[in-house]
Structure 1
Amino acid sequence: MPPKDRFIIHSRAVVCSDVDLKGEVTIGSNTVVHPKVAIYAIAGPIVIGSGCIIEEGVVIVNRRKDVMRIGDENHFEINSRLECPTMGSCNVIGTRARVHHTASLSSYCVIQPAVVFSPATPEILPDYSVIFDEGGSERRIWSGQGAEQERALRQKHAEYLRELLPKFNRQRKGDID
């Protein structure tokens, strides 16, 4: 039996009303969810941390019974898709990129635009990994240089969106956390 729909949306989160939510979904403080996003907790719950930016057309799916945990300050760009069971903090999933259920991300990872990352066996990407070819096989570890500047820029971007989106989109409310 599929889980009952239950949404816990933090009072400081900005979630547009035309976001498609199914199952048990928790959205943390200062997270911004653009219009036309789909978050489906099909088998188990999804917990999204604070300060994330989820742009238009993003699809997040949990097909496992375990809780899908998404850390803080992650950025999901337009039309990306995520099915990985766990994700650390400060990751970037590029435009039209896909991360399948066999992959988990640590922190500060980057999946470049249009990359399909679908390892044949379950894999946890180490911190600071960058996947940059369309097949998802080319990768590098970056030094982390500039990570704090990027994080500050992402926080400023989220702050701007928290101000702007409510002016042009109706907001969705859930149980207040």
Structure 2
Amino acid sequence: MSTQAAQPAPQSTSSSRPPVSLGQTTHLDPGAYVRGSHAITLGEHSLVHPRAHLVAIHGPISIGDGCIISEKCVIGGPVQGSASPGLPQSPETEHNESDPSKTTIGANVYIQANAQIHAGATIQDAVLIEAHAVVLLGVTVGSHAKVCAGVTLERDLEDWAVVYGHGDVKRSRKPSADAGAEQADLVETVRLKAMDKEREGTAAILKLASRMASVAKKK
């Protein structure tokens, strides 16, 4: 994976600045908040929105190709206890360096606004995490799965599953019959293409806004 060391430094909510490696085609917005001491790695063609939080306090963060990390998301959040709807800003959650928990986000993952992926969680490829959902420590979300808005996910979710309600109601997005499976694959391909267009368009707008803000500061 190629890296771009000269990317503008995002704002940080902490004096501790983690090492960040990102693909040349990835946009990590200067308005994102990056904190911690562990490494953060982003693949190609990904987009991290302003006010998204990448928290590498408890362990490294790996984000794959083609992802969208929306505003006010928290990646690598609280480890201790249960889910918290707030940002990971309590001092007691910032010192566990002896047992790092890697947070892994696969390729083509869309994490919507205000969602939280706690440190130590694994999100596999092509997953959709809707707004205000929370994935807890140690949980694995299978590929092409969907965590609906507001769900707190406490246990692993299999491939193609949809979880909603209070996190205990599930259904499959992919029929077992061959014809139905092919149709589901087609629908998923269309969804991912639409996600590509959204990511590319939004990234272009944010890059332009960043350049304009930089020019304005120099005047």
Normalised TM-score (structure 2): 0.70
Letter in 1 for 2:47: V
1:113, 1:17 → 2: CA distance? 27
CA positional deviation for 1:92: 0.6
Deviation of the 1:170 alpha carbon: 5.5
Stretches of structure 1 that go unaligned for 5 or more consecutive residues are 172-177
Match for residue 161 of structure 1? 202
Greater strand content: 1
Alignment-derived partner of residue 138 in structure 1: 169
Structure 2, unpaired ranges of 5+: 1-15, 80-98, 175-180, 213-219
Query: What residue is the counterpart of 1:20 in the other structure?
Result: 33
Higher share of residues assigned helix: 2
Query: How many Å separate the matches in 2 of 1:132 and 1:37?
Result: 24
Conserved 8 A contact 2:43-2:66: yes
Please give the secondary structure, in 2, of the residue aligned with 1:169. Answer: helix
1 or 2 for the larger relative contact order (CA 8 Å, sep ≥6)?
1
Please show how residues 6-155 of structure 1 align to structure 2 within 5 Å: 6-22=19-35, 23=37, 24-61=39-76, 63=79, 65-83=100-118, 84-119=120-155, 124-133=156-165, 135-143=166-174, 145=184, 146-155=187-196
Quote the Cα distance in structure 1 between the aligned partners of 2:138 and 2:43: 25
Distance, in Å, in 1 between the alignment partners of 2:71 and 2:104 is 21
Q: Are the counterparts in 2 of residues 17 and 170 from structure 1 also a CA contact under 8 Å? A: no
| SS state at 1:40 partner | strand
Q: Displacement, 1:42?
A: 1.3
How many percent of aligned residue pairs carry the same amino acid?
23
CA deviations over 1:63-85 (Å, ceiling 9, x no partner): 56243221001001011111152
- Tell me the alpha carbon deviations over residues 135-160 of structure 1, each in whole angstroms, 9 at most, x when there is no partner: 21111111161111111111111111
TM-score by length of 1: 0.85
Aligned-partner Cα distance in 2 for 1:25–1:80: 19
After TM superposition, the runs of 4+ consecutive aligned structure 1 residues lying more than 3 A away are none
| Deviation by residue 1:109-138 (Cα, 9 ceiling, x = unmatched) | 10111111123xxxx3111010111x2111
Aligned length: 164
Q: Residues 70 and 111 of structure 2 are in contact (CA less than 8 Å); yes or no, is this contact kept in structure 1? A: yes
1:34-71, CA deviations, whole angstroms, 9 ceiling, x for partnerless residues?
10011111122111001100110000116562432210
Is contact 1:25–1:46 with CA below 8 Å preserved after alignment?
yes
In our comparison, the structure showing a higher alpha carbon Rg is: 2
CA RMSD of aligned residues (A): 1.9
Provide the rounded CA distance (Å) in 1 between the counterparts of 2:163 and 2:211: 36
Tell whether the 8 Å contact from 1:87 to 1:106 is kept in structure 2 after alignment.
Answer: yes
Distance in 2, matches of 1:15 and 1:66, equals 22
Aligned residue identity for 1:164: I
Q: Secondary structure at the match of 2:206?
A: helix
CA distance in structure 1 between the aligned counterparts of 2:54 and 2:76, rounded to whole angstroms = 6
